[in-house]
């Protein structure tokens, strides 16, 4: 599995590098070189602040279960989740397993309680994104012609989100009742069927517990609104960063074009093809920016520099944090040792 991830990541890098040479590496380097070190630091700080806000959603939800939870450890664990999401093709859910695993030790909560937090956090994370994406696509109809893949990606992400939450919204009793027929498949107590029955029963029980926990995690209307607005602010920061990148590279682009380019790129990149949406993100953003009036080297430079800020630098930082977390975990003696 690790080899496959590495190969896919390398494939994405190879395709983008090939695009560099095909479009014109000297011209792209000249445009990208306009980014000052102070500008790079500022944008990186803005990206880290965005990731901190994202981690705060987890922190907010965890506080509903435990008053002893601290924000900084939650942020570090969230960064480890960023690393997993960056190296695996996923609809931004690949890092949740890592977060649950590491949060278990930090919070002392059960896996079903942490799974409930993951479910609810994704609900609030995706709801504003889908709302903004829908508005973006409607606005795009009057500004430019987008490729059909963008609309297909939106339909796919929307359908996946609906199915995901319908799946977990099913009552715990429903999942446990589904486990009963499987438990009757033990033909002559065959070991294979016994293992299947046990595995299904445990999975059904876990999903049922997590679903039940998620329903009672946030019941206050003000908290619902606060979480939605917090996630909305997180998503608003993304086109803001692309806009700042374009300004620092010397281009004043219509904010509407920036918004369309950013959200359509994120939509298409959520289709699980290459790790972190490599190639699909850059390709979609370039296509939209060119449709908005930029030349190909200019659009490619903005897309690549935006990804340096939002993907490559966080990937390196999150890799370091993940290594640190697991090194600390392995170095800590078990209780009683």
* Residue 78, token pair as written in the block: 């969230």
Q: Give residue 101's pLDDT.
A: 87
Find how far residue 79's CA is from the centre of its chain: 11
Q: Are residues 313 and 44 in contact, defined by beta-carbon separation less than 8 angstroms?
A: yes
The rounded distance, in Å, linking the Cα atoms of 306 and 245 is 6
- Residue 238, burial from CB neighbour count under 10 angstroms (0-12, 13-18, 19+): buried
- Which portions of the chain are predicted below pLDDT 50? 171-176, 178-179, 181-188, 199-201, 203, 206, 334-337
Q: Give residue 182's pLDDT.
A: 46
Q: Give residue 270's pLDDT.
A: 81
Q: Give residue 43's pLDDT.
A: 96
Q: Give residue 234's pLDDT.
A: 94
pLDDT one-digit tens code per residue, 309-334: 999 999 999 999 999 988 876 655 54
The rounded distance, in Å, linking the Cα atoms of 231 and 122 is 10
The rounded distance, in Å, linking the Cα atoms of 12 and 278 is 6
Find how far residue 45's CA is from the centre of its chain: 19
Per DSSP, the chain holds a count of helices (H) and strands (E) of: 14, 0
DSSP string, 143-168: T----HHHHHHHHHHHHHHHHHHHHH
Q: What is the pTM of this model?
A: 0.81
Q: Give residue 106's pLDDT.
A: 84
Q: Give residue 310's pLDDT.
A: 94
Q: Are residues 112 and 210 in contact, defined by beta-carbon separation less than 8 angstroms?
A: yes
Q: Give residue 315's pLDDT.
A: 93
Q: Give residue 335's pLDDT.
A: 43
Q: Give residue 154's pLDDT.
A: 81
Length of the chain: 337
Q: Give residue 207's pLDDT.
A: 53
């Amino acid at each position: 599995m690790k080899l496959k991830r590495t190969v896919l990541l390398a494939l994405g890098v190879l395709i983008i590098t090939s695009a560099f040479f095909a479009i014109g590496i000297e011209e792209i380097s000249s445009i990208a070189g306009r980014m000052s070190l102070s500008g790079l630091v500022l944008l990186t700080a803005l990206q880290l602040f965005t990731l901190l806000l994202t981690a705060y959603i987890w922190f907010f939800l965890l506080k509903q279960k435990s008053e002893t939870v601290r924000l900084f450890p939650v942020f570090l664990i969230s960064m480890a989740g960023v690393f997993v999401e960056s190296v695996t093709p996923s609809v931004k859910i690949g890092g949740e397993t890592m977060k649950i695993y590491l949060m278990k030790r930090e919070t002392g909560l059960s896996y079903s309680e942490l799974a409930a937090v993951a479910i609810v956090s994704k609900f609030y994370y995706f709801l504003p994104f889908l709302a903004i994406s829908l508005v973006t696509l409607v606005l795009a109809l009057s500004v430019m012609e987008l490729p059909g893949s963008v609309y297909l990606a939106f339909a796919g992400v929307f359908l996946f989100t609906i199915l995901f939450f319908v799946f977990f919204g099913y009552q715990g009793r429903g999942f446990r009742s589904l486990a009963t027929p499987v438990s009757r498949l033990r033909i002559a107590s065959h070991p294979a069927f016994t293992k299947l029955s046990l595995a299904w029963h445990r999975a059904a029980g876990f999903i049922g517990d997590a679903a039940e926990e998620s329903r009672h995690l946030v019941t206050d209307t003000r908290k619902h609104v606060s979480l939605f607005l917090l996630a909305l602010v997180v998503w608003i920061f993304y086109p803001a960063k692309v806009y700042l990148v374009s300004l620092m590279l010397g281009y004043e682009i219509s904010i509407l074009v920036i918004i369309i380019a950013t959200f359509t790129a994120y939509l298409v990149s959520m289709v699980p093809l290459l790790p972190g949406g490599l190639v699909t993100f850059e390709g979609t953003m370039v296509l939209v920016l060119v449709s908005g009036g930029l030349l190909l080297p200019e659009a490619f430079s903005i897309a690549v520099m935006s990804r340096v800020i939002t993907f490559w630098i966080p990937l390196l930082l999150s890799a370091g944090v993940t290594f640190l977390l697991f090194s600390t975990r392995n170095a800590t003696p078990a209780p009683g040792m």
